[in-house]
Chain A
Amino acid sequence: MHTVSLLVENRPGALARVSNLFARRGYNIESLAVGPTERPEVSRITLRVDCSRDALEQLEKQMHKLVNVLRVSTLEAGEAVERELALVKVNAPPSRRAELMALGEVFRARVADLGPDSIVFEIVGHPEEVSSFEELVRPHGVKELARTGRIGLGRASAGRVARTQHVLS
């Protein structure tokens, strides 16, 4: 699985042109996040795709040729900060509430909303942490789930891998 980060012009059709390059080659985009950047005319697309190295290289070159695409890079695990936000609505009858809240605390998941028989957790973290939390609350009954898709940036301390690994582990 590869994470690709693109800077694109903030225009209609830019996302469609990018996603079409994947679709026409039969690749499924596993995760996709689009949002503004520090420049209002530029958006960032972060996407995840499961394909071979060679296929990825071809896709990157094709994306680079798109008129709306300004920059293409792949985020290598360990050399990028990657985050995702999830909202999880879990079954929470009063008898289970305390247990779930304790679980949430371990993951630093915030209670975004509380109802008579369910809780909506909000969790931000590395996508794998988000997945772990999802697995742990699943036995309680997940009513609904929404994930933003991963976003990422190259590390501020690019090149000093050892130190950053230490800081983040």
Chain B
Amino acid sequence: MLGSDAILRSLEAEGVEVAFGIPGGAILPTYDAFARGSTVRHVLARHEQGAGHMAEGYARASGRVGVAIATSGPGATNLVTPIADAWMDSTPLVCITGQVRSTLIGTDAFQETDATGITLPIVKHSWLVQNVEELPHVIKAAFHVARTGRPGPVLVDIAKDVQETEFDFHYPDEVKLPGWRPPRNVHALQVAEAAKAIAGAQKPILYVGGGAINANACAELLELAEAGGIPVVTTLMAKGAFPDSHPLALGAPGMHGSKWANWALNKADLVIAVGSRFDDRVTGKLTAFAPGAKVIHFDIDPAEIGKLRRADIPVVGPLRPALEQLAEELRRLVDPGHMGPAAWRRQVDEWRAAYPLRYDREGDVLKPQAVIETLRDLTAGRDDVIWTTGVGQHQMWAMQYLVCDQPRTFITSGGLGTMGYGVPAAIGAKAARPDATVICVDGDGCFQMTCQELATSALEGLPITVVIINNGWLGMVRQWQEMFYDSRFSETHLTHQVPDYAQLAEAYGCAGFTLSSEDELESVLEEALNCGRTAVVDARCDPEEKCFPMIPAGAAATDVIEFTDLEESVEA
């Protein structure tokens, strides 16, 4: 069998259904193998970055490993951003790149780049394959490493001549990786310690991160929260890990989290971190974060324990059995009918009532929050909706106002903050769940970074709805310039003049809509959602709207600037 065919047989053996990619010189033999037939569906992207984000969206929506394929040189470098994104957000990804012939490696050959070198700091592992006999073992190992332990991206760089070489193909049953030993078990004593601490806490809080979704531990999380009557904050990456509409759900903490979630997290006496990593966007000033709290830290990655905040009770290992055991242990410790920390829950609910999310919806200008609230209301109660976003103000509003009751229904770029993530991630999510309605809430800046993938969406039968919160600016940067740079709006004005997004959509064979007032909001969004093909809605919003609440960079998480604070200071 040829190396190229062996690559596809290996992907098939791993159960890969879809791969996203673009052919080119050094990966041509493998695309020739696609022409000979494969059960792997290939989705042709328009830019390798798009292919990478599609693979990420696929992985996040399905819980499986995403696969992206590109050629050497620029193909590989265009994958760098999705790889970095997957690294930061622990998304399992196998990237396969062609490499120049082994005889040319290291000679600055045409389209040669050191792909394993360039990606070294942002992959779990990578392989340069120069011997065809190694190929099946490497692909087997690549999938194993990507999905086990803390998930993440791997790269397999395959020389062109390897793809063209005949050999006896046999896909191995086992991986031989003596140095790869992610934690498999949870320390029962540590879990017992944790249960004791929770039972004794007056003001406990669950601080849940994306790891809970990666670990498929959301049912166990719900069990635990209900067993202890513990309020839950879910980070941006964890939206949907715990039902947003559950009475114990406090939503997101952090820079643009609600005041009640931040206060609850920071005034707690016990922080139970579950697959979360004390990111600066969540903690604010680290030394002022949850100053009175003991910390229990559950994580599959030992390197996250104590990295930023010392853990009083570290529990390393897979979250699912850990949370299951913890809930069990907790039930043993408390009396049946025990209501948990009721006074604490009342306190949190008082904060929630006193400091709700607010914006001024009066006036003629369309408010971005109103667009997102309308989208939420139009899809309320449905369990077949997946949201993706770009990065910026619209992303934070989506986090604040959308309601996600299921895991894997809110797909966003958290750690890396990759503008342009939304559209391709939505296409990937649609490939993973063809029956779902996939809606990308995007910004106008973000949209323009990857909008060429509308072609992929239209031609591959992967329809999505893109709602552009179009304020004509790089809105989040503008907000910082207004608040922290004396309103010097340096190079952030994108304008409402070009492009005409509706026309752009039509040019790509999609349906285009424009709206600029509340009157037409519901009808246009409904029409776009029901048009049966890829739709782009250009929602022309208030260019000056800012996202609140906000914790300024470097401030303590309890020093939240609210919508009202600002109005008062303006009046004063």
Contact = CB atoms under 8 A, between A and B. Distances in A.
Interface of A: 8-9, 12-13, 16-17, 20, 24, 54, 57-58, 61-62, 64-70
B128 interface: yes
Contacts of B302: 61, 64-65
Interface string B89-124: 000000000000000000000000000110011001
Nearest to B120: A20
Closest 8 CB pairs of A and B: A61-B303, A67-B125, A70-B179, A67-B180, A69-B179, A61-B302, A67-B179, A62-B303
Contacts of A61: 302-303
B306 A57 contact: yes
Given A65-B303, A67-B177, 19 more contacts: A8-B179, A9-B178, A12-B128, A13-B116, A13-B120, A17-B120, A20-B120, A54-B306, A58-B307, A61-B303, A62-B303, A64-B302, A65-B302, A67-B124, A67-B145, A67-B179, A68-B125, A68-B179, A70-B178
Given A64-B302, A67-B177, A20 B145 contact: no
B301 A65 contact: yes
Interface string B176-215: 0111100000000000000000000000000000000000
Interface in B258-304: 301-303
A114 B149 CA distance: 57
B483 to A, nearest CB: 31
A64 B304 CA distance: 13
B124 A20 contact: no
B204 to A, nearest CB: 27
29 contacts: A8-B179, A9-B178, A12-B128, A13-B120, A13-B126, A16-B117, A16-B120, A20-B120, A20-B121, A24-B121, A54-B306, A57-B306, A58-B303, A58-B307, A61-B303, A62-B303, A64-B302, A65-B124, A65-B149, A65-B301, A65-B302, A65-B303, A66-B125, A66-B179, A67-B179, A67-B180, A68-B179, A70-B178, A70-B179
A22 to B, nearest CB: 11
Contacts of A70: 178-179
Interface residues of B, number: 19
Contacts of A20: 120-121
Nearest to B125: A67
Contacts of A16: 117, 120
Contacts of B121: 20, 24
Interface of B: 116-117, 120-121, 124-126, 128, 145, 149, 177-180, 301-303, 306-307
Contacts of A8: 179
B81 to A, nearest CB: 18
Contacts of B117: 16
Contacts of B124: 65, 67
A72 B120 CA distance: 20
A23 to B, nearest CB: 9
A12 B127 CA distance: 10
Contacts of B177: 67
A58 B121 CA distance: 15
B557 to A, nearest CB: 22
Nearest to A60: B303
B44 to A, nearest CB: 31
Contacts of A57: 306
Nearest to A70: B179
A8 B125 CA distance: 14
Nearest to B152: A65
B272 to A, nearest CB: 21
B233 to A, nearest CB: 25
A9 B307 contact: no
A99 to B, nearest CB: 50
A88 B126 CA distance: 40
A43 to B, nearest CB: 12
Nearest to A23: B121
A10 B516 CA distance: 63
Nearest to B145: A67
Q: Which of B120, B125, B179, B180 has the most CB of A within 10 A?
A: B179
Q: Which of B120, B126, B128, B178 has the most CB of A within 10 A?
A: B178
A20 B124 CA distance: 13
A17 B179 CA distance: 13
Nearest to B304: A61
Contacts of A64: 302-303
A67 B178 CA distance: 8
Nearest to B306: A57
Q: Which of A8, A13, A54 has the most CB of B within 10 A?
A: A13
A64 B301 CA distance: 11
A155 B177 CA distance: 29
A8 to B, nearest CB: 8
A163 to B, nearest CB: 34
A149 to B, nearest CB: 23
A54 B128 CA distance: 34
A20 B119 CA distance: 11
Contacts of A54: 306
A118 B180 CA distance: 51
B560 to A, nearest CB: 30
A64 B182 CA distance: 10
